[in-house]
Structure 1
Amino acid sequence: MLRNFGIILRGFEVKFSTKAQKVSDLLPNDDISTKLLKVAVIGMPNAGKSTFINNLMDRKVCPTSNKVHTTRAKSRAIFTEADSQIVFLDTPGLVNLKEQKKYNLEKTFLRDSKSSLHDADVVGVIHDASNVWTRDKLDIKVIRLLENHKSKPSFLVFNKVDVIRSKRKLLDLTRLLTENCIDGKPIPGGKSLRNEDNNIRGWPHFQEIFMVSALTGSGLAEVKNYLIRNAKPAKWMFPSEIWSDQTAEAIIVNSVKAKLLDFLPQEIPYNLRAELEFFNINDKGVVSTVVLVHCPSQRVAKLVAGVSDGKLRQITESLQHDLQETFQNYVRIKLVLEGPKE
Structure 2
Amino acid sequence: MLRNIGLVFRGFEVKFSTNASRVSVPHEDIATKVLKVAVIGVPNVGKSTFINNLMDRKVCPASSKVHTTRAKSQAIFTEGDSQIVFLDTPGLVSFQEYKKFSLEKSFLKDSKSSLREADIIGVIHDASNIWTREKLDIKVIRLLEDNKTKPSFLVLNKVDIIKSKRKLLDVTRQLTENCIEGAPIPGGKPLRDKETRGWPHFSDVFMVSALTGSGLDEVKNYLIRNAKPGEWPYPGEIWSDKTAEEIIVDSVKAKLLDFLPQEIPYTLKPEMEFFNINDKGVISAVVLVHCPSKRIAQLVAGESEGKLRQINESLQVDLQRTFHNYVRIKVVLSDK
TM-score normalised over the length of structure 1 = 0.93
Q: Provide, for residues 184-206 of structure 1, a one-character-per-residue CA deviation record: whole Å limited to 9, x for no partner.
A: 0011123664xx53321000000
Q: Which residues in structure 2 correspond to 1:241-260 (within 5 Å)?
A: 241-260=237-256
Q: Post-superposition shift, 1:22?
A: 3.5
Distance 1:239 1:11 in 2: 32
Paired position in structure 1 for 2:225:
229
* Greater Cα offset, 95-104 or 301-310: 95-104
Distance 1:271 1:327 in 2: 28
Find the partner of 2:35 among 37, 61, 65: 37
**Residue 311 of structure 1 pairs with residue 307 of structure 2:** yes
Paired position in structure 1 for 2:11:
none
Q: Post-superposition shift, 1:130?
A: 0.6
* Contact 2:127 2:156 survives alignment (8 Å): yes
Give the number of aligned pairs.
329
* Contact 1:16 1:248 survives alignment (8 Å): no
Q: Any gaps of 5 or more consecutive residues in structure 2?
A: 8-14
Q: Which residues in structure 2 correspond to 1:148-297 (within 5 Å)?
A: 148-190=146-188, 193=191, 197-297=193-293
Instruction: Evaluate the alpha carbon distance shift between residue 295 and residue 119 of structure 1 in structure 2; reply closer, same or farther with a 3 A threshold.
Output: same
Aligned sequence identity (%): 76
Question: Which amino acid in structure 2 is aligned with residue 232 of structure 1?
Answer: K
Distance 2:256 2:29 in 1: 45
Question: Which amino acid in structure 2 is aligned with residue 219 of structure 1?
Answer: G
Q: Post-superposition shift, 1:105?
A: 1.5
RMSD of aligned residue pairs (Cα, Å): 1.5
* Greater Cα offset, 180-189 or 15-24: 15-24
Distance 2:96 2:123 in 1: 23
Distance 1:181 1:122 in 2: 18
Paired position in structure 2 for 1:18:
18
Distance 1:119 1:190 in 2: 34
Q: Post-superposition shift, 1:10?
A: 5.4
TM-score normalised over the length of structure 2 = 0.95
Q: Provide, for residues 89-125 of structure 1, a one-character-per-residue CA deviation record: whole Å limited to 9, x for no partner.
A: 0000001122122223211111000000000000000
* Contact 2:125 2:156 survives alignment (8 Å): yes
Question: Which amino acid in structure 2 is aligned with residue 259 of structure 1?
Answer: K
Paired position in structure 2 for 1:68:
66
**Residue 336 of structure 1 pairs with residue 335 of structure 2:** no
Paired position in structure 1 for 2:4:
9
Q: Secondary structure at the match of 1:223?
A: helix
Q: Secondary structure at the match of 1:332?
A: strand
Find the partner of 1:122 among 120, 123, 130: 120
Q: Any gaps of 5 or more consecutive residues in structure 1?
A: none
Distance 2:205 2:41 in 1: 15
